[in-house]
Structure formats: structure tokens, C-alpha cells
Amino acid sequence: MKTIKELISESLTEVAATRDINRQNSISRVYKACPELKEIDDQILEVRNSRFIAVIDKDERLIKRFDIAEEELLTKRGRIIARNNIEPDFDEEKFICSECSDTGFVKTADGKVSVCPCRENELEMCYEQSGMADYPSYKMKNYRDDYLGDASGRKKIKGMMNDLLKELIGKSREESKSYIYVYSAPPQTGKTFLSICVCKTAIKLGKSAYYAKCEELSALGTDTLEALKHIDFLVVDDFADTVTLSNNVGSVLNTLLETRAASRLNTVLVTPFPVNELVKKCDMRISGKLQSAKKISSEGR
């Protein structure tokens, strides 16, 4: 898996090449329409080359002559450009995206750094590589508080998830004591939808994030598992006590939680079961961690 920063950084060479091609195209277009300008530019180039040799020869008289010649040519050039309505910067390199100056990132109204809309392809690629290939349509703007009833509960949970995002973006993580969160809500209340939206938002804000189903953890490749230890934000969905007791999932999850907590990285376990029930039945190592985890829930359970 690659982070959004890596994906954007990898594309920068291609963007620079495109900028150069655009510049070359613009120059040949203008020269074709105005051969007179090309002639002057060739002459300027020639004068500059000759002046360069005069400098090496330390021939002050000749240097002066070339300086005057260049000045005359430049005046002539200015006149040609004005007369033919040519953009004066036609031979300069221009940004392809003026919004982000081709960096791929922009500042939002509230001062956060966010991926520029011109990098939608890289974003989609990153979502796919971050465990969300099956959920292309899950977008935060489509999340409705009143969709499945319990509007106030959904709104409350969304607020808590947003706080988590703010914590992720801000610098308050050092002050936080707990890095494991349990998002517990009954089945069919939109947990997966919200979890994926939060993961995508984190990526959009330039962070590394991953969405995984709990039962799939033991099937992930070692490279991915290693990456999950270090990414900024991890969501483990469909977390259940029975899952932790099968296929080595308990051991894999326990290692992840321990490594991530030591690096002060946030992990959210998403579950349809009440936390106190999970604590009783889970893999022992994970039970202990659940007790001190922060709760994300619409009720006081």
C-alpha cells in the first residue's frame, strides 16, 4: 500500500514533464504564427553566446557592443510581441493546476492541508490500496443523520468520529492517554459507511489510513501488516469476540494494537456488540485493552 503523499510525490515527475511539453508546444505555436519573433529570438541567443566568449576573453569593448546589441534586439522583440498580441510569458513554464501550483495539496478555509481536487485519481487509487476498493461510493457528503432512524444518535457518533479526525490532524495526540477506540452501535446503523468515510477523509487530509475487516486481518500479507503498524489511522470493522478467537486473529490484532499504542497511533475497533460483553468473551490480551479503550457510542453503554 502507498500513502497519498507517496502517490502524489511519485506523480510529480510526470507533472513536471507535462509542464515542459506544454511550454515547448506554446513556443512552437507562437513561432509558427510569427516567424519574425523566432528570428529575433535566434539572434538574441547568438548575441548572448558571443558575449559569453567575450567575457572569457575579457574583451570589455566587445562585451559592451554585445550588451547594446541585445538591448536593441529586446526592444524590437517587445514591439513584435505587442503588435501581434502575443502573451509576453508564452515561453515560460506554467503550472498545470493554479489551485495547488502543482503540489497536489491545498489549504482549506479552516487552515487544514487537503489533497487538491486535481488529484482525484491519486485519491481513488489510495482508497483502493487502503482496503476500500469495494466501497467507491461511500462519501461523507452522502452520510445522513436521519437515514436509519435515531438521528440524534447518528449525529452524536459522527461528532465523536470528527473529533477523532481533528485529533489526528492536530497535535493533541501526545496529550491523549488512550489510542484504542471502540465504536459500538447496533447492527444496521451505518457503522461501516461512517468508518469508511472517516478513513477516506483522513487520507484526503494527507494522512495514511487503512480500513480492514477484523476477520481478514490474519489473511493480510506481511508487508501490509507491517505497514498497518505505522500508518496514522486504522479502522478494524466487524470486531467481535468470536473473531478474535479464531484463525490467529487475536494474536495479529493484539500485536497491531500494542505497536500502534506505543507509537501513539489511533486505532478504532468497530463492533455491533456492547463493550462490557466483549470484555468478558474476547481473547484475553485484547480484553484487557478494551477495558481502557475510549468508547464511541450513541448511548452510555
- Residue 279: what are its φ and ψ, rounded to 5°? -55, -40
- 96 makes contact with Zn ion (CB under 5 A): no
- 73 makes contact with Zn ion (CB under 5 A): no
CA-CA distance, 10 to 62, in Å (whole number)? 48
- 116 makes contact with Zn ion (CB under 5 A): yes
Q: Which is nearer to Zn ion, 116 or 194 (CB)?
A: 116
CB under 5 A: which stretch of 81-89, 116-124, 177-185, 243-251 binds Zn ion? Answer: 116-124
Is residue 201 within 8 Å of residue 282, measured between CB atoms?
Answer: no
Look at residues 217, 224, 226 and name the one whose alpha carbon lies nearest to residue 246: 217
Q: Which is nearer to Zn ion, 42 or 120 (CB)?
A: 120
Q: How remote is the C-alpha of 147 from its chain's centroid?
A: 29
CA-CA distance, 5 to 18, in Å (whole number)? 20
- 113 makes contact with Zn ion (CB under 5 A): no
Query: How are beta strands 233-237 and 209-213 bridged, if at all?
Result: parallel
Among 63, 69, 118, 148, binds Zn ion (CB under 5 A): 118
Among 100, 194, 212, 282, binds Zn ion (CB under 5 A): 100
- 120 makes contact with Zn ion (CB under 5 A): no
- 97 makes contact with Zn ion (CB under 5 A): yes
- 99 makes contact with Zn ion (CB under 5 A): yes
- 125 makes contact with Zn ion (CB under 5 A): no
CA-CA distance, 17 to 61, in Å (whole number)? 41
Q: Which is nearer to Zn ion, 99 or 163 (CB)?
A: 99
Residue 209 in 3-state DSSP?
Answer: strand
Q: List residues near Zn ion by CB under 5 A.
A: 97, 99-100, 116, 118
